[in-house]
Amino acid sequence: MKDWLGLLKLRITLASTITTGVGYVMARGQVDLPILPVMAGILLQACGAAALNQVQDAHIDVLMERTARRPIPAGRISRRAATLFALGLLAAGSVVLGFFGLAPMLLGLGAAVVYNLVYTPLKRVTPFAALPGALIGALPPVVGWSAAGGYLSDPSIHLVAFFFFIWQIPHFWLLLLFYHRDYADGGLPSLFDRFDRRQIVKLTFIWIAALAVSALLLPLVHLFDEVSLAYVVAAAGLLVVVRSLALLRVDVIGLASQGAAALQPFHRSCRIRFMEINTFALLVSAMLVVDALN
């Protein structure tokens, strides 16, 4: 059972499930019973896409220390069995979401298509696959919104989706900063092929700042009409940006020349920034729910 659960990338898929719930509550203005099957449907779809991704990446995962012990590269689950499992989850999730309309079902499948048929192949040929891949994080709140009867033309959900789109970029690039050797071992192109560490750090900081700014756009469409909520989000965004300045103060080029051990404090700082932007995204999600329920 543990190996089958290991195919599901639950930390990632649960994040998609949460943001789907956020979109649902925003459109509905309340938390009611139908939110459970909506969130279950997107969870099943996301888990199916995650499992299928592990099938697609098994030959790469076996080369990387971080992923070599996953069930498929370690030989504990066959690719065929994992594929059938993944397709079953995708089908089940689509059936569940289909009860809430064609739009939420297709949007959920669209996220899977982006993940498995766009992002996964692209990451083998370009270091910029995270840019189109960020759509994966933008679509779940739209699924929840649509399932609750929200209009897809509403600019409120567009800006929320944009916020989660922006969040995906520094999320991925911070991971890259402390796992880049794994990408090299797996033969995957990365930003390190185009830029030095200092440039990547600067690019990542710019995206972190953009994340904070994208949260400030939400009141433009009458989200956070309760001023105190807007202040909380603005203060949290400013704090994230200020704390991320620590990345720019490190002489990463000099540390890299001293060997891997010298970079460990910098890698710890990257992990902290990674947790902080994820916490910020969770805070914004919570504030959106509170705003919708007021």
Q: Where are the chain's structural domains? A: 1-153, 154-294
With residue 159 as reference, give the H or E element that holds it.
helix 155-185
How far is Cα 34 from Cα 260, in angstroms, rounded to an integer? 51
* Token pair belonging to 252: 């990463």
Helix (H, G, I), strand (E, B) or coil at 17: helix
How far is Cα 73 from Cα 54, in angstroms, rounded to an integer? 9
Homologous superfamily assigned to 1-153: UbiA prenyltransferase (1.10.357.140)
How many CB atoms lie under 10 A from the CB of residue 220? 11
Let me know: does 102 contact 39? Beta carbons within 8 Å.
Answer: no
Let me know: does 207 contact 241? Beta carbons within 8 Å.
Answer: no
Tens-digit pLDDT string for the chain (294 aa): 888 999 999 999 999 999 999 999 999 999 999 999 999 999 999 999 999 999 999 989 888 888 889 999 988 999 999 999 999 999 999 999 999 999 999 999 999 999 999 999 999 999 999 999 999 999 999 999 999 999 999 999 999 999 999 999 999 999 988 887 777 777 888 888 888 888 999 999 999 999 999 999 999 888 888 889 999 999 999 999 999 999 888 777 666 667 666 678 888 889 999 999 999 999 999 999 999 998
In the block, which residue shows the tokens 């996220």?
111
Q: For residue 29, what is the DSSP state?
A: S
pTM above 0.85, yes or no: yes
